[in-house]
Amino acid sequence: MCKNNFLTFHLYQKLLLISSNKNIINVTIESFINKHYIYIMTKILLIGGLGYIGRVLYDFLLTEYPQCQTDILDINIYNLIADINFISCDIRNTELLDQYISQYDIIVTLVAIVGDPACNFDRKLSLDINYYSFARMIKLIKKYKKHVLHFSTCSVYGCLDIKATEQS
């Protein structure tokens, strides 16, 4: 399921790096950037970066790694953000997204319509963004052999009769 250069970001600032020999290595985001790619890769694109996690990560990268070019690509669907420059691009526009992905070294995927109420409000849009467009975006990332940090921004615990924890 996971291929080379595919990274999963855990919300507690831990990365699971899937290496070419399929070993999984736990590292912090700081050590990933510092030890592995800071001198090679300097352009980071946060796709869907205007949300809560994206804004925190964006500020962190600007402060801690000013030598990197960090940009946000987002459609600002809720029109809540006015105080930050970002690349306006809908991930459903595959041709335009292709142009942007090709220009960056690390792609951070944060884009999603999150939560049952938001997804139920417009199920077609949610399916189009959260599934179809996301799958096309991953194909573009693989096409250009980019490094990926993926945040799970959706509810991923399923139905449980107990309160979910990190150990559930």
Cβ neighbours for 5, distance < 8 A, ≥ 6 positions apart: 145, 146, 147, 148
Confidence (pLDDT) at 14: 39
Confidence (pLDDT) at 30: 57
- Give the Cα separation of 158 and 142 in Å (integer): 28
- Give the Cα separation of 74 and 42 in Å (integer): 20
Confidence (pLDDT) at 99: 97
Mean predicted confidence (pLDDT) in 45-71: 86
- What DSSP string describes 39-79? TT--EEEEETTTSHHHHHHHHHHHHH-TTSEEEEEE--TT-
DSSP E strand stretches across the chain? 6-10, 14-18, 24-28, 43-47, 69-74, 87-88, 106-109, 147-151
- Give the Cα separation of 99 and 92 in Å (integer): 13
- Give the Cα separation of 116 and 93 in Å (integer): 25
Confidence (pLDDT) at 159: 61
Nearest to 73 by CA among 98, 55, 48, 51: 48
Per 3-state DSSP, the chain is made up of helix, strand and coil in percentages (nearest 5) of 35, 20, 45
CB-based burial of residue 8 (10 Å sphere; 0-12 exposed, 13-18 middle, 19+ buried)? middle
Confidence (pLDDT) at 149: 82
Confidence (pLDDT) at 101: 96
Confidence (pLDDT) at 72: 96
pLDDT tops 80 at residue 157: no
Answer whether 0.75 is exceeded by the pTM.
no
The per-residue pLDDT for range 97-133, each reduced to its tens digit, is 999 999 998 899 988 888 778 888 999 999 999 889 9
Confidence bin at 57 (pLDDT 50/70/90)? confident
Per the prediction, the chain carries an average pLDDT of 74
Mean predicted confidence (pLDDT) in 51-71: 84
CB distance 116 to 158 below 8 Å: no
